[in-house]
Structure 1
Amino acid sequence: MNSISRLRYFLYLSILIVGCTTGKNALQKGDYDAAVSKAVDRLRSSPQNKEAMQVLPEAFDLAIKTHLRKIDEAKVSVDALKWENIMYRYQQINQLSDEVNACPSCLNLVPNPPKYVKEFEDSRYKAAEARYLLGERSLRENNRQSAKVAYQHFVKAQSLYPSLKGVKEKIEDAYWAAVLKVVVQPAVINSNAYKLSNQYFQQQIANYLATYKGNTFVRFYAEEDAAAQKVRADQLIELHFDDFIVGQTYVKERVEKLKRDSVVIGENRHGKIYGTVKATYSEFEKQVSSSGLLNFAVVDLRTNKLLRNQKIAGTYVWKDYWASFRGDERALDRQQLALTRKREVMPPPPGNLFVEFTKPIYAQLVDHITSFYSRY
């Protein structure tokens, strides 16, 4: 690129940058709000900027007229949520006026920018009222899905106008009408020997359900809590161990003949004597396997329909290794020799093994519950 071309490029870039910072480009594209904001920003740092001085009054006038026209159109609309659009338009006008009021040089170009404070407050109230009425209409349909819609309307109404009369109570009513109430039975195990171990598994489930945040509109209850609170449950989760085996033991032995050459086996007057050393190496592996099968079922209490019935399997294998040898220990490598110095270890108590195989079952169960109730 020669010097003349480079100069032209930088001149074009400078014009483009100035156009952006003064709001001229935004004005030409019909984005009047952005044009006002850019022109005001430019005039704050450069009060005599000619282009910004030309842009501001024209962009401000067009922005106000556009918003007022849209407000008039919205007022005759049949859209139930039209007041939110009207509120937004008044908010934009007031924001533009605040920007001009905060720029002394801008007030010479746009004196007395209009503010629609009362109109904004009135439209905000009417927008909240419209949401409230829509919420009431949905709530009267008397089903969970409509109650969820009602809840969203009431929450929006409160965010628009927090002091709106009765809205807090309506949010509460809609929420509880929308909530799916699920009672969870304790995991059943047909063995007195493992009842204590099963309490750990049951406590894990209780902790998860108590802190469940997967779906706002699903609440879980233990049987005793549901009874105490007189909850009319929608669904029931049944959990019971169909089958389990704790402490099934397997022992494997692997025998290996070891030989190592060029080992110093003695010494004479001529020096060291090298030879071959041998050993019979036996390595043992003990596995204690525990596994179980949990049945996870969901029942609709209103129709007595089985909604989900699934088997969840879990396994835990405890392992121990040790070894022995006959012969010359020099035939063994370092790792083999270390194993020969170990002794057989007793496996954990059966109750601990039961807890261990329920851990992968718990992880899968949580995934199944989360997935199943995400649709509600």
Structure 2
Amino acid sequence: MRGNQLILLSIFVLILHACSSGTKMLEKGDYDNAFYTAVKRLKSNPTHAKAKHTLTASYDLAVQNHLRKIEQAKLAITPFKWDEVVYNYEDLNNIGASLESCPSCMNTVGRPRFYDTELNDARYKAAEERYVAANKLMLERNRESAKVAYRYYELADYFIPKYKDVRTKLDEAYYAAAIKVVVYPVQVNSNLYKLSNDYFQSQLDGFMANYETKNFVMFFRPEDAKRQKVQADHLMYLSFDDFVVGQTYVKERVEEIKKENVLVGYTDQKRPVYSTVKARLSIFDKSISSGGLLDMSIIDARTNRPLHQQKMPGTFVWQDSWAAYTGDERALSKEQLAMCRKKEVMPPPPQTLFLEFTKPIYSQTVNAINGFYNRY
């Protein structure tokens, strides 16, 4: 049994040794990863013979493989062939940079060749190809084509940063592709809660302003939409169907407390006197409940057709407790006595209570907006 274990261990070590040098990857035709694995191995062990062998074979094969792909792409008649050319030249340069970072590797295969001139030429051709295709899509004047055009302009900007007027084109494509949503302010019919509601509104405004850019959704205030002459796709209305602030409940609990064998004094002979002491404890629990229901409605601006409606509840309960007693305080525990010494706390002002119950409503509203507009 022990002999079999040693054999298995030896096989495992050999496999691990082969994989760590990239030999298995080389045999499977994964030349790039075989090369990078051999480089990593030689950085930690510059004299590793198997890794040197793998490096020599994989480097030549990887370079020839990328050059072959480049020639095939150049001869192809498929659209966006220059993307493939760019990516392969980038891979070749990455191989060269990895080789330069390993002195023992260069001693093995020599200094690498870099393809900067060829890569720059391919980048310009790839950028132009995407740019021209995006311009054609924009002429179709529909949202789906504009979304694709936006992606093409992004690629053009990746290949050659600030290529021609691509940054302006990106803005134009995004605007054409985006759903424009006019969001009407949250309505609350009370001047008392105006400041708290304004804060809730500002939180929503901040969320919408920082909404994920590539979701192709834009939110506008009514006044901004009017000034910018936005043709709205959706109208969003937010209003509190109902809310109550400061519903107060006070509950009293009375406990008759008795404690036996309590030291109550001493005799004339200074002997301790023990007796039973009693107290009547009244515990007051005060809660102030506030809550509301926000309605979110989204309608099609062109057809007036309802697209989505959701109601989001929120509650907040403020609580306080204190106590009072009559009788002998020695009957009370330390905790009970502390409650009796505690004064009734003034509750937060109504504006704060309003703000507190809107916090869970805000979270629900954000999730609802995300959930609905993720499909766009």
Give TM class, smaller chain: 0.7 to 0.9
Please say if residues 18 and 24 of structure 2, whose CA atoms lie closer than 8 Å, have aligned partners that are also in contact.
no
When residues 272 and 179 of structure 1 are mapped into structure 2, their CA distance, relative to the original with a 3 A threshold, is: same
Please say if residues 260 and 277 of structure 1, whose CA atoms lie closer than 8 Å, have aligned partners that are also in contact.
yes
When residues 363 and 274 of structure 1 are mapped into structure 2, their CA distance, relative to the original with a 3 A threshold, is: same
Q: Deviations over 1:277-308 (max 9, x none)?
A: 11111111122222211111112212212222
* Match in the other structure for 1:314: 314
Residues in 2 aligned to 1:119 and 1:308: alpha-carbon distance in whole angstroms? 53
* Match in the other structure for 1:212: 211
When residues 324 and 134 of structure 1 are mapped into structure 2, their CA distance, relative to the original with a 3 A threshold, is: same
Superposed displacement of residue 219, structure 1: 2.2
Q: In the alignment, does 2:285 pair up with 1:290?
A: no
When residues 332 and 374 of structure 1 are mapped into structure 2, their CA distance, relative to the original with a 3 A threshold, is: same
Whichever residue aligns with residue 370 of structure 1, its letter is: N
Larger mean Cα displacement after TM superposition, 240-249 or 129-138: 129-138
Larger mean Cα displacement after TM superposition, 309-318 or 207-216: 207-216
Q: In the alignment, does 2:225 pair up with 1:226?
A: yes
Residues in 1 aligned to 2:56 and 2:332: alpha-carbon distance in whole angstroms? 94
Residues in 1 aligned to 2:12 and 2:353: alpha-carbon distance in whole angstroms? 77
Please say if residues 20 and 38 of structure 2, whose CA atoms lie closer than 8 Å, have aligned partners that are also in contact.
no
Residues in 1 aligned to 2:26 and 2:223: alpha-carbon distance in whole angstroms? 67
Q: In the alignment, does 2:141 pair up with 1:142?
A: yes
Please say if residues 182 and 236 of structure 2, whose CA atoms lie closer than 8 Å, have aligned partners that are also in contact.
yes
Larger mean Cα displacement after TM superposition, 104-113 or 220-229: 104-113
CA RMSD of aligned residues (A): 3.9
Q: Deviations over 1:144-202 (max 9, x none)?
A: 23212211111111111235333233222111111222222111112333334322322
Q: Percent identity?
A: 48
* Match in the other structure for 1:66: 65
Larger mean Cα displacement after TM superposition, 342-351 or 12-21: 12-21
When residues 98 and 307 of structure 1 are mapped into structure 2, their CA distance, relative to the original with a 3 A threshold, is: closer
**TM-score, with structure 1 as normaliser:** 0.81
Superposed displacement of residue 105, structure 1: 9.8
- Paired residues, number: 374
SS of 1:296's equivalent in the other structure is strand
Larger mean Cα displacement after TM superposition, 252-261 or 332-341: 332-341
When residues 312 and 77 of structure 1 are mapped into structure 2, their CA distance, relative to the original with a 3 A threshold, is: same
* Match in the other structure for 2:155: 156
* Match in the other structure for 1:363: 363
Please say if residues 90 and 119 of structure 2, whose CA atoms lie closer than 8 Å, have aligned partners that are also in contact.
yes
SS of 2:282's equivalent in the other structure is strand
When residues 155 and 276 of structure 1 are mapped into structure 2, their CA distance, relative to the original with a 3 A threshold, is: same
Q: In the alignment, does 2:309 pair up with 1:299?
A: no
Please say if residues 214 and 370 of structure 1, whose CA atoms lie closer than 8 Å, have aligned partners that are also in contact.
no
Superposed displacement of residue 263, structure 1: 0.8
Whichever residue aligns with residue 321 of structure 2, its letter is: Y
When residues 128 and 338 of structure 1 are mapped into structure 2, their CA distance, relative to the original with a 3 A threshold, is: same
* Match in the other structure for 2:323: 323
Please say if residues 193 and 354 of structure 2, whose CA atoms lie closer than 8 Å, have aligned partners that are also in contact.
yes
Superposed displacement of residue 267, structure 1: 2.1
Please say if residues 20 and 26 of structure 1, whose CA atoms lie closer than 8 Å, have aligned partners that are also in contact.
no
* Match in the other structure for 1:245: 244
Superposed displacement of residue 368, structure 1: 1.8
Residues in 2 aligned to 1:85 and 1:302: alpha-carbon distance in whole angstroms? 43
Superposed displacement of residue 119, structure 1: 4.0
Residues in 2 aligned to 1:112 and 1:346: alpha-carbon distance in whole angstroms? 79
SS of 2:163's equivalent in the other structure is coil
Residues in 2 aligned to 1:187 and 1:8: alpha-carbon distance in whole angstroms? 71
* Match in the other structure for 1:86: 85
When residues 55 and 216 of structure 1 are mapped into structure 2, their CA distance, relative to the original with a 3 A threshold, is: closer
Superposed displacement of residue 133, structure 1: 3.1
Whichever residue aligns with residue 314 of structure 1, its letter is: G
Whichever residue aligns with residue 297 of structure 2, its letter is: A
- Aligned pairs (5 A) from 1:1-376: 17=17, 21=21, 27-33=26-32, 62-93=61-92, 118-162=117-161, 164-213=163-212, 216-269=215-268, 271-376=271-376
Q: Deviations over 1:70-123 (max 9, x none)?
A: 334333434313222223334445666777899999999989987655543333
Larger mean Cα displacement after TM superposition, 153-162 or 228-237: 228-237
